[in-house]
Amino acid sequence: MDDQLPDKEGLVSVRLHHDTCFMRHLLGSLLACLPAIFAGCAVLEEGHHPLLHALDEALPEPDGSLPSVALGAALLPVTVPAGLVDTFVAHPALTAPTAWDSTGDLLWKDPRGSTFYQAAIFLPKLAATPVVFVFAWGLHCAVGE
């Protein structure tokens, strides 16, 4: 009867195999969704990179010559940090006013109901304002205006 029950090592290896397969399928699914995620990403839209745009305006047009290619290679250490600053600092800072306007439109603009009703929901609206702002900010950063 004991020979029908799997030993502890067999159970552990089956569980480990199941976890490994699950993680591999999850990673594959996430990688398959990346093009769809980046297709609607506001960071990739024109006008959301002020530092990179300023660099493009200041530099001459590339013409394929050796000095032009060398200049491009030399500027790589400048453009990568500029792109990162644009993505994680400038773009979120530029979308914050739009998110604040969206929060005001959603919670505070055009109050409905009586004065008593507005007084009753004032504190919940006040408490919801930062939560709605953070959500709207993240949405504006990810999707755009």
Contacts of 100 (CB under 8 A, 6+ apart): 133, 136
Dihedral, CA of residue 33, residue 39, residue 42 and residue 48, to nearest 10 = 130
Return mean pLDDT, the chain: 77
Q: Taking the model in full, what pTM does it have?
A: 0.59
For residue 103, what pLDDT is reported?
93
For the residues 85-106, what does the mean pLDDT come to? 90
Nearest-angstrom CA–CA distance, 51 and 85 = 8
68 vs 32, higher pLDDT: 68
What are the residue boundaries of the structural domains of the chain, listed by start? 7-39, 40-143
pLDDT, tens digit, for every residue of 26-48? 677 766 665 655 555 655 667 77
What confidence category does residue 1 fall into, taking pLDDT thresholds of 50, 70 and 90?
very low
Q: What is the pLDDT of residue 14?
A: 52
> What is the average per-residue pLDDT within 1-7?
51
pLDDT of residue 17 exceeding 60, the answer is no
Query: What pLDDT sits at residue 5?
Result: 53
The whole-number pLDDT of residue 99 equals 93
| Token pair for 81 | 């940090």
pLDDT at 15 over 60: no
Is 50 a residue whose pLDDT tops 80? yes
Tell me the HSE value of 86 on the side-chain side, using a 13 A CA sphere: 20
Token duo for residue 19: 């976890």
